[in-house]
Amino acid sequence: MQFHLNGEVRLVASALLGAAVLVSPVHAEDIVLKMWTLDNSGYKEFIAEAAEAFKATHPNVTIEHQIFPGDPYKTALKVALVGSDGPDVFFNWSGDRAKQLVKDKLALDITDFGNAPGGFAKVLPEGWLDAFRYDGRLYGVAADAVSKYVFYDKAYFAEHKFEIPKTLGELGNLCKAIRKIDPNTVPMPLGNKTRWKAIHWMTMLNERAMGVAGTAADYDLSRPADQLYTDPGYAKAFQALVDLQDAGCFEDAPNATEYAIADSMFATKASPMEYCGTWCTSGLDAAGFTDYGFFRLPLMDGGKGSFDANFLVPEGYQVSAKSAHPKEAVEWLSFLVSDEQGLKFAEKVQFLPSNAKLVDKAQGVPASFKDIARDVGTLKQGVNVLDALLESTVADAYMNATVEVLNRTLTPDQAVGKIREAALAAQAKK
Amino acid sequence: MSHLEVRDVVKRYGQLTVLSGVSFAAEKGEFVVMVGPSGCGKSTLLRSIAGLEEIAEGSVSIAGRNITQAEPSDRGVAMVFQNYALYPHMTVAQNMGFALKVARRPKSEINAAVTRAAEILRITEHLAKYPKALSGGQKQRVAIGRAITRAPEVFLFDEPLSNLDAALRSQMRIELSRLHRELGATMLYVTHDQTEAMTMADRIIVMNGGNIEQIGSPLELYNRPATRFVAGFIGSPRMNFISAYVIETVGRSVSFSFGLELPPLKLEFAPGETLPAVGDAVILGIRPEALGDSGEVHLADAEVTVVEALGRETLVYSDAHALRTTDSESLDGYFAQLVPSQSDKKLGQHVSLWADRSAFVVFAADGTTLHDASPAHAHYK
Amino acid sequence: MTLRARSVAIGLHAFVSLWTLFVLVPVFVMVISAFKSQAELFTRPLALPRQFSFAAFERAWGIGISGFLVNSLLVTALSVLFIVIASSLAAYVLARSDKPVMRWVYVAIVAGFAVPLQSVMVPLYQLVSSAGLLNSRLAIALPYAAYGIPFTTMLFYTFFLEFPRELEEAARLDGCGRIEVFFRIVLPLSGPVIASAAIFQAVFNWNEFILALLMLTKTDVRTLPVGIYGLTGQYSADWPALMAGLAIATVPLIVIFLLAQRHFVRSLAGLGK
Amino acid sequence: MAPSLTSTLGDTGKRPVLNAGNISASAMMAPALILVGVFILIPAAVAVIGSFFDFGMTSATWTFVGGANYRRAVTDPLFWLAISNNIFIVIGSVVSQVGGGAILAAILDRGIRRGSVVYRTIIFMPVVISSIAVAFVWMLILDPNVGPLNAIVKTLGLSPPRLGWLGDPAISLWMLLLIAAWQNVGFQMMLILAGLQAIPKEHYEAASLDGARGLKAFWYITLPGIRNVLVLATLITVIGGFKVFDLVFVTTGGGPANATQVLGTYTYTQAFSFGNMGYANAMAVVLLVTAALLGWLQVRLSRRA
């Protein structure tokens, strides 16, 4: 038995509520594009200025930009896309969430608009287009990507003559050395209360243990059930995390520490290192801390990972299947990833734009930003983050398992067992 | 046709019947008091007349108009409530003029009516005050004034004096009587206080258990109660009741026995009165004021157990041992005797209880009198 | 006072004082944190700020707190108005009617009290959305009102049961119809209970979060809790600004509470009956 | 609250004012009925219906699955964990909030003469603060690195929990209880205080003439006098304990690793994180039925009183 919910609800709703609240009248030729994004610093100004610039070619299009805080955005977006007053274009992460919207036919196939003259598909490199490509069709425009590095306090390193570690083992030793100087110094605070900090670690530790190719079939659940998540590398990755914890790298209660507090421990030089995202630079900037360096997460001894692979999460925009103006919507998105706007984006938001042609010309950004952009440019392999990439229940199990490993309530093997359990259940549902 | 006519009114709350076919009438200008114990249905009847209660059967008409289905305000009645029911958010004047204001009467008319009513009740100086600034007596005047301004066909009073203290109550009684004379209005007054009933009423309706027991003037009820209930309810202190049975009837003279060791009592029945049969159980009643040290009949010897000096009168309770009163409400079966003087009777003193034969009233076992009485439904039978 | 009584009294005082202190500390932390820099907040959490900086307040204000304040006021006022009118009317009928069906009506309304918001969030959202009422401050006042009605109806119901019926009867005799009795007699005399209900619901609706998060997606219609929640970004949180925002949102309520304390107390007394 | 149905609706001595012509009576009922019906009862009905279907947050089609969602709940250890957490919170809240509130109320009613108003004002204050604000402030206080609580505990020479106040599954639930108590004790205190102050002084005077003082007076006068209030306070707390959401959602998000998951947050997670709307609805129905039963219980208990 199947029936459509929306029709029923709409009937009931309109019957009971009768006259709806009047919407402000829109001139027939005027087009209002509603755009939803996260509330990253600088985002608002960037969109506002871009919308103004867009008027030059599209004088009748007004952009109505709405911003949301992080976690609630995920909920609000989903319900809004089902509802009546959803956005025309919206921010999304590449990964399972975007895939789900494609599956539920809420995200529009924008391949044809994208391939039109001046369309984003003509501008962005294939690798970036992959971020929102499903079954060969494009369902979104990658706008930027975030990566992660181990940030370190240059002065502190110089003072104690520390070297940049080459392996995870060396990183552990570094932590021990720091603790020896002052046992109260947390070498690299984790801040895993909201669970995504450690899952970022696991994203890269898995790569360092097994390489991107080794995990792909587990991540998309395409491996046969009897082999799913059976690679000993998963346990090894967890063990690496445990080893670092044993080496005293993290604070005592990582699962009770807010990410913001971990960030500020590094920003205030209370801690000499932090594994932090590219988004951290603006915060460090704001805290007046500029004398820092960064390095990629070191390799694992005996691991299959590649130093050319690093954390890289593409983010971008999708178009609602319900949008009344898909053509204008895609033109707007294409405009946002044009060369000039890519530069503006880098300057205002300080994230790495998908269109990085002019990034070197960026003004008013910290020097580290350009360094990081340059480093990202040398990557051969992007590693997408587990909580966006995995099916949601598996991602949840992964995050919880990581929490428990850090709490020492699960051994690495037990943790992998839990993840495998969730993966099998998810695979069975597919 | 009478000014107020109530016919066969039945009122039920769910399974419970509170009024089981009540009928009576009141003439124009008459002051009728409904009296009875609490729960007897007197207030319900009053409220039914006011239209505050829906009745299941029967009809009510006022001034020849059937108002059974009319809205309360269209019935030509005004009501004075036990706890005054003054609107706390309005001044005295506003309270009194509210009905006219609701009826959208001109301001001048409202003012005139309020002023007049205030003068009658002598509350003119309080007109601008709010009810909470008034004493109980003043509040009651305002409540009455509110009724007066409406110039109703019938005034309804629902135990209006029961919240006042004793001194104020007797003062207001007189005042209400005066008001009744001055206004010449028909008034229906509910109370459980028989003194109010006796002193104010032109006629009294005694109610019990949802029925009317008797309707009559105060003295009729006192002298010729139709039922044992009326006899007990009217008169203070209560009548003494004694169980007896008939042992002999000779012509119109009937002998009653109170028990083997006690002398029988012979009473004469007037022509037309019902004669009991030999062996019938009856209740004899004798009012406390009819018992004395002398009389035609020696009822019993007794021992004084309680003496209440009331000032001019003395209430004496005495224990006649073998002969006990039956009323459950009386003191341990003692006889109450009201001596119309200051008495020197002492506790434990032996006394003889005497009475005249004519002072006895005889009730059948079902409580109805065997004597002639004013009937309960006099107007319709 | 004996020694024993004195020591008992001191013990009682101490207990109450300790709890009072316990209550005050978080409020204190919130306020002083709002005056600190992020770094100082984390390094010297309990200390007074080295210098009172209003920068966090400015940042909080900068995300449009003033607008959120206005929206919260509007939504709260509107919903409380709906609640008071609808609940008082319904409770009055319920308290005065002896129709058996009214018992069921009462149960139906009060049953709403038992329905947790998060269990009906999705259908509710779809309903509001289908009716085109998203992003309307009026629209959110309607579900707010709906969720306030069961409790308030109970509150009014008990009040009306004790309302002197003679007043209404007197008014009926004075010529008032049912609605007139209600509006000319009952309502003017319901001041205390209206105040209690209004204050209670104002607190709930002022602080409501989830519905506002879902239904008020436009920045310019957001209420305070959602707006403040916006101070936590995707990857970063501005704690001093967050605390400043919380202070801005909380202080008006505390002031209102201090001013209207006796109404709170009275409504609580009414609840216990 | 706590109006008893039978004592009023079934009261034979009742004097209805509204009896003839129900047109305006229905009109007066309409706004409340429509609002409650449209925004609570119909969505609740949809949730009940939805609990027999399988569908995603964003999917337009529903697949009928019968009682599968309920069967799934029975075998889902997290569902039972959530329920047991709810029960823990319910019991803990009754003890801490009603108990604490009663003690504070008793002290403020009789024990303390000076400053009583000040105390009670401050203690009640958190009630008017939003759960969001409360959660954020407490998160800061309970932080294991920079939080004041750790600092205080260390100053006392004790060692704070290794995994943090909110990071240790064994402690985090207690912390939620503490925060809930911080916020709600004032409410219960005021409620009980109002009940205490409604007890006529004469009762105590009469009791003391009868030789009942102190504990005896408390047992024979105070307790019966506030019985209704205590029943109400308890039930408000119990229902609140089952409905708890905002606080857990913001403070722990159900973590660490589901340790503080409650019905409300787990339902939310299943619905909005996993998109299992049908399953979420089934759990919502469990919550709804529990709350409804408790509400019914309250009406029953207060009727008897």
**pLDDT category of residue A177 using cuts at 50, 70 and 90:** very high
Could you tell me the two tokens for B354? 């005497």
Which of A149-163, A254-268, D175-189 comes out lowest in average pLDDT?
A254-268
Q: Do B and A have ≥3 inter-chain CB pairs under 8 A?
A: no
Q: What is the pLDDT of residues D200-229, one digit of tens each?
A: 888 777 777 777 767 777 777 888 888 878
Q: Residues 211 to 270 of D: which have CB under 8 A from any B CB?
A: none
D15 with B47: Cβ contact below 8 A: yes
Cβ(B164)–Cβ(B137) below 8 Å = yes
Give backbone dihedrals phi and psi of D45, rounded to 5 degrees, phi first: -65, -40
Q: What is the pLDDT of residues A71-83, one digit of tens each?
A: 678 777 877 887 7
| Residue B328 buriedness (CB in 10 A; 0-12 / 13-18 / 19+) | exposed
pLDDT score, position C126:
74
Residues of C whose CB is below 8 A from B99 = 173-175
Q: Where on the phi/psi map is residue B333: left (φ > 0), alpha (ψ -120 to 50), or beta?
A: left
List the beta bridge partners of residue B157: B80, B189
- What integer best gives the mean pLDDT of chain D? 80
B13 with D12: Cβ contact below 8 A: yes
Residues of C whose CB is below 8 A from B103 = 175
Query: How close does chain A come to D167, measured CA to CA in Å?
Result: 4
Q: What is the pLDDT of residues B293-315, one digit of tens each?
A: 888 888 888 899 989 888 888 88
Q: Compute the average pLDDT of residues B309-322.
A: 86
D58 with A78: Cβ contact below 8 A: yes
Hunting for tokens 């609490």 — which residue is that?
B38
Give backbone dihedrals phi and psi of D206, rounded to 5 degrees, phi first: -65, -45
What is the CATH classification number for the domain harbouring A354?
A: 3.40.190.10
Residues of A whose CB is below 8 A from D274 = 392-393, 396
Q: Are strands B65-66 and B57-62 parallel, antiparallel or unpaired?
A: antiparallel
pLDDT score, position A224:
93
Range of the domain at B264: 233-364
Residues of A whose CB is below 8 A from D46 = 9
pLDDT score, position D147:
81
Q: Is the pLDDT of residue B346 over 50?
A: yes
Q: Compute the average pLDDT of residues C151-175.
A: 86
**pLDDT category of residue C269 using cuts at 50, 70 and 90:** low
Nearest neighbour of A3 by CB, restricted to D34, D62, D257 = D62
Q: Where on the phi/psi map is residue C136: left (φ > 0), alpha (ψ -120 to 50), or beta?
A: beta
Q: Is the pLDDT of residue A11 over 60?
A: no
Rounded CA separation B212/C255 (Å): 63
- DSSP of B324-380: ----TTSGGGPEEEEESS-----TT-EEEEEE-GGG-EEEETTSBBSS----TTTTT
Classified by CATH at the fold level, domain C63-271 comes out as MetI-like fold (1.10.3720)
Q: Are strands B186-191 and B203-208 parallel, antiparallel or unpaired?
A: unpaired
Helix (H, G, I), strand (E, B) or coil at A19: coil
Q: Is the pLDDT of residue C121 over 90?
A: no
Quick one: B227 and B254 in the same domain? no
pLDDT score, position D21:
44
Quick one: A175 and A214 in the same domain? yes
pLDDT score, position C267:
64
- What integer best gives the mean pLDDT of chain C? 81
Could you tell me the two tokens for D134? 């409360």
Query: Where is pLDDT greater, at D297 or A319?
Result: A319
pLDDT score, position C198:
84
What is the CATH classification number for the domain harbouring B286?
A: 2.40.50.140
pLDDT score, position C216:
82
Q: Which amino acid is at A278?
A: T
Q: Does B87 touch chain C (CB under 8 A)?
A: yes
Q: Residues 161 to 220 of D: which have CB under 8 A from any A CB?
A: 161-169, 172
Q: Compute the average pLDDT of residues C173-191.
A: 86
Q: Does D28 touch chain C (CB under 8 A)?
A: yes
pLDDT score, position D20:
40
D37 to chain A: closest CA residue:
A16
Quick one: B122 and B269 in the same domain? no
Q: Is the pLDDT of residue C111 over 80?
A: no
pLDDT score, position C250:
83
**Predicted TM-score (pTM) above 0.80:** no
C126 with A68: Cβ contact below 8 A: no
What is the CATH classification number for the domain harbouring B227?
A: 3.40.50.300
Rounded CA separation C79/C147 (Å): 10
Query: Where is pLDDT greater, at A10 or B8?
Result: B8
Q: Does B98 touch chain C (CB under 8 A)?
A: yes
Query: Where is pLDDT greater, at A120 or A20?
Result: A120
Nearest neighbour of D273 by CB, restricted to A189, A396, A407 = A396
Q: Where on the phi/psi map is residue B356: left (φ > 0), alpha (ψ -120 to 50), or beta?
A: beta
Could you tell me the two tokens for B221? 């009820």
D42 with A256: Cβ contact below 8 A: no
Q: Is the pLDDT of residue B151 over 50?
A: yes
Cβ(A74)–Cβ(A60) below 8 Å = no
Residues of C whose CB is below 8 A from A20 = 131-133
Query: How close does chain D come to B273, measured CA to CA in Å?
Result: 41
Q: Is the pLDDT of residue A285 over 60?
A: yes
- The DSSP letter of residue B74 is G
Which of B222-226, C7-11, C228-232, D3-7 comes out lowest in average pLDDT?
D3-7
Which of A316-330, A374-388, A397-411 comes out lowest in average pLDDT?
A374-388
Could you tell me the two tokens for D140? 């800061």
- Compute chain C's Rg from CA coordinates: 23
pLDDT score, position D8:
32
**pLDDT category of residue D11 using cuts at 50, 70 and 90:** very low
Q: Residues 2 to 61 of A: which have CB under 8 A from any C CB?
A: 5-6, 9-10, 12-14, 16-17, 20-21, 23, 36, 38-41
Name which of A39, A199, A320 to mutate to probe chain C: the one with the most chain C Cβ atoms within 10 A of its Cβ.
Answer: A39
Which residues have CB under 8 Å from A126's CB, separation 6+? none
C-alpha distances in angstroms, C95 versus B114, C258, D7?
33, 32, 11
Q: Compute the average pLDDT of residues C5-21.
A: 84
| Alpha helices for A62-167 (secondary structure H) | 70-82, 96-103, 111-115, 120-123, 126-129, 154-159
- Give Cα B354 to chain centroid, integer Å: 29
Quick one: B303 and B196 in the same domain? no
Residue B89, in any domain of the structure: yes
Q: Compute the average pLDDT of residues B124-142.
A: 90
ipTM field: 0.72
Residue B370, in any domain of the structure: no
B73 with C164: Cβ contact below 8 A: no
C99 to chain B: closest CA residue:
B14
Single out the residue in B178, B206, B232 at which a domain terminates.
B232
pLDDT score, position B264:
86
Rounded CA separation D130/D183 (Å): 9
Could you give the number of structural domains in chain A? Answer: 2
**pLDDT category of residue D59 using cuts at 50, 70 and 90:** low
Quick one: A297 and A196 in the same domain? yes
pLDDT score, position C268:
65
Quick one: B228 and B248 in the same domain? no
Rounded CA separation C211/D168 (Å): 31
Helix (H, G, I), strand (E, B) or coil at B30: coil
Domains along chain D?
Answer: 85-304 (1.10.3720.10)
Residue B379, in any domain of the structure: no
pLDDT score, position A50:
92
Chains that touch A (3 or more CB pairs under 8 A): C, D
Could you give the number of structural domains in chain B? Answer: 2
Which residues have CB under 8 Å from A74's CB, separation 6+? A97, D272, D273
Q: What is the pLDDT of residues A86-104, one digit of tens each?
A: 899 999 988 888 888 898 8
Quick one: A404 and A258 in the same domain? yes
Query: How close does chain D come to A78, measured CA to CA in Å?
Result: 6
Quick one: A230 and A346 in the same domain? no
D166 with A6: Cβ contact below 8 A: no
Nearest neighbour of A264 by CB, restricted to C38, C123, C126 = C38
Q: Residues 32 to 71 of C: which have CB under 8 A from any A CB?
A: 38-39, 41-43
Quick one: A239 and A286 in the same domain? yes
Residue B373, in any domain of the structure: no
Q: What is the pLDDT of residues C196-250, one digit of tens each?
A: 788 778 878 887 887 887 788 777 888 888 877 766 655 556 778 888 888 888 8
According to the per-residue pLDDT averaged within each range, which of A25-39, A294-308, C27-41, C190-204 is highest?
A294-308
Nearest neighbour of B81 by CB, restricted to C170, C174, C185 = C170
- Give Cα A90 to chain centroid, integer Å: 15
Quick one: A299 and A395 in the same domain? yes
Q: Is the pLDDT of residue D12 over 50?
A: no
Q: Does C97 touch chain D (CB under 8 A)?
A: yes
Q: Does B170 touch chain C (CB under 8 A)?
A: no
pLDDT score, position B294:
85
Quick one: B247 and B214 in the same domain? no
pLDDT score, position D113:
67
Q: How would you label A183-218 residue by residue, b for 16+ Cβ within 10 Å and e otherwise?
A: eebbbbbbbbbbbbbbbbbbbbbbbbbbbbebbeeb
Cβ(A233)–Cβ(A300) below 8 Å = no
Quick one: B225 and B254 in the same domain? no
Residue A288, in any domain of the structure: yes
Domain boundaries, chain C: 1-53, 63-271
Which residues have CB under 8 Å from A116's CB, separation 6+? A330
Q: Residues 349 to 368 of A: which have CB under 8 A from any C CB?
A: none
Residue A293, in any domain of the structure: yes
| Alpha helices for chain C (secondary structure H) | 3-34, 38-43, 55-62, 65-96, 100-111, 121-130, 137-162, 165-173, 178-180, 191-207, 210-215, 224-229, 239-259, 261-271
Residue B6 CB-half CA count within 13 A:
28
Q: Is the pLDDT of residue A27 over 90?
A: no
Range of the domain at A246: 148-311+391-429
Residue A2, in any domain of the structure: no
**pLDDT category of residue A399 using cuts at 50, 70 and 90:** very high
Which of B322-336, C239-253, D42-56 comes out lowest in average pLDDT?
B322-336
Quick one: A270 and A406 in the same domain? yes
Quick one: A344 and A362 in the same domain? yes
Residue B378, in any domain of the structure: no
